[in-house]
Amino acid sequence: MNTYTSTGMDNNKDKDKNDGTAGNKTANSTAASYSGGEEERRENRIIARVSSVGIGGNIALSAFKLAAGILGHSGAMVSDAVHSLSDVFATFIAFVGVHMSRKAPDREHPYGHDRFECVASILLGLVLIATGCAIGYSGLAKIFGGHLDELEAPGGIALIAAIVSIVVKEGMYWYTRHYALILHSDAFMADAWHHRSDAFSSIGSLIGIGGAMLGFPVLDPIASLVICIFIFKVAIDVIREAMNKMLDTSCSPEEEAKIAKLLTDEEGVQHLDLLHTRKFGSKIYVDAEIAVDGDMSLREAHAIAERCHNAVEKEFPDVKHIMIHVNPY
């Protein structure tokens, strides 16, 4: 393919070079800087608030469930309390990962620090696996310990704790998920799923405790095993998603089709010769080659490429960098 002109642009470069006077440039730059600063402060407030709710809520809930498990003689509820306590550590990891990923690019990291979120998500997955192992071991030890007839039926307080946990943790899931979508944060989304895994584990506890109270005490440790399996499933999903984003996995065919349509619909674009996408942490990088009239001037070709660039950035907020290469048609 012969290439006559190349136009590369990204959202970190100054887009005002064709705007007119130096005064306009300064005014636009100042306004953009002020707007960017306000947005950064707003995001930092959200990050701090979500982290505080997660850590504070989990500490209170863990203490309540641990006391209920001990007083109500329920191994499943004690296991559930351990799971909630691990959420405190998980939320802290998510907070650090999100905070670090939003550091501005520097000389050593010109593309930013977005992959810190992937690292945080992988650590969250490993925390989940460790939690699942501990809970599973506890359940197996009770089942195969040879003393099933000595297992004590749980008390009513353990049942109440399970119901409270389901309601609170499901609420924390939706709360964290809401802000994870606003921030486009994989780490907070992983933390939200950590909350939901706790809610589902509490459902297992509820079934096990209820069955044990009805005269089947073996259901209590069996519930711990069910909780363990569910936690493993969530952990594997979280780690797999984070690994995919660390390995520059391309966007889905549906997402690429939307980007391609946006580019080909732009006035002056005769053909889309190439489109590559890759995920970089929670952000997306795009490389595209468009074909325009070969007799067009460089200035006109550049204007078309810049319109394409701006359209993609406006439509897809997760696109951090887009490089558009222009070929003659």
Domain of residue 167, residue span: 34-246
**Count of structural domains within the chain:** 2
pLDDT of residue 300: 93
CA atoms within 13 A on the CB side of 238: 33
Q: Are residues 134 and 259 in the same domain?
A: no
Q: Is residue 14 part of a domain?
A: no
Domain finish residue from 246, 264, 279 = 246
Size (the chain), residues: 329
CA atoms within 13 A on the CB side of 196: 15
Q: Is residue 13 part of a domain?
A: no
Report in angstroms the alpha-carbon separations of 257 from 250, 267, 327: 12, 18, 20
Q: Are residues 227 and 257 in the same domain?
A: no
Cα 229 → chain centroid: 22
Q: Is residue 228 part of a domain?
A: yes
What would the two tokens of residue 102 be? 């939003």
pLDDT, tens digit, 9 for 90 and up, residues 268-318: 999 999 999 988 767 888 999 999 999 999 999 999 999 999 999 888 888
Q: Is residue 8 part of a domain?
A: no
Question: Residue 71's closest CA among 241, 209, 172?
Answer: 209
Burial class (CB in 10 A: 0-12, 13-18, 19+), 20: exposed
Q: Are residues 270 and 169 in the same domain?
A: no
If one compares 300 and 43, the residue with the highest pLDDT of the two is: 300
Q: Are residues 82 and 168 in the same domain?
A: yes
Q: Are residues 154 and 236 in the same domain?
A: yes
Name the amino acid, one letter, at 315: E
DSSP per-residue string spanning 51-63: HHHHHHHHHHHHH
Q: Are residues 206 and 264 in the same domain?
A: no
Q: Is residue 41 part of a domain?
A: yes
For residue 173, what is the domain's CATH number?
A: 1.20.1510.10
Q: pTM for the full model?
A: 0.61
pLDDT, tens digit, 9 for 90 and up, residues 165-220: 899 989 999 999 999 888 878 778 878 887 887 787 788 778 777 887 787 777 77
